[in-house]
Amino acid sequence: MTYLRLRDAGGLPAELDTTNPSPDGPALDCFRCGICCERWQPLLTGADAARLAEALEMSLPAFFQAYTAPYPFSDEERLLNRGADGGCVFLRWQEQGGLRRAACAVHAARPAVCRDWAAGLDKKECLQGLARFASPEGEVSLSVLYG
């Protein structure tokens, strides 16, 4: 079985043992930990809002009222609301193989900023997400992540 080993630094995973470092950070497929969805409040463009409203079969004004908040630095953009748990209003959780996995209720219509997010070992959020799946020894089985 293949493992990634987390090194703990002050209670948070700071590094991964890797034999192939890249200047851009080692890339990996998203393993649906949900950290980015919990932490960030996506900024919507007009095209994002229109796409989401259409996917939800709502008028644009109704979508704005139900799911967004004004962005204080631009009249052209809005922020997605946060849900009751503090994460993205469209963040859902699913049990998969005994693990809690993040799921997006509007994945096909998600905002551009969410589409553009690339998981990687150079991202603090992804390292923290790996810790959610780690054994007490700090090992993360790739079959657990992607099995």
Asked if 47 contacts 76 with a C-beta cutoff of 8 angstroms, the reply is no
Predicted TM-score (pTM) of this structure: 0.78
Contact partners, residue 96, CB within 8 Å, separation at least 6: none
The pLDDT tens digits of the residues spanning 24-60 come to 555 678 889 999 999 999 999 999 999 999 999 999 9
The pLDDT tens digits of the residues spanning 54-88 come to 999 999 999 999 999 999 998 878 999 999 999 99
Alpha-carbon gap, residue 40 to 107, rounded angstroms: 16
The pLDDT tens digits of the residues spanning 87-111 come to 999 999 999 878 899 999 999 999 9
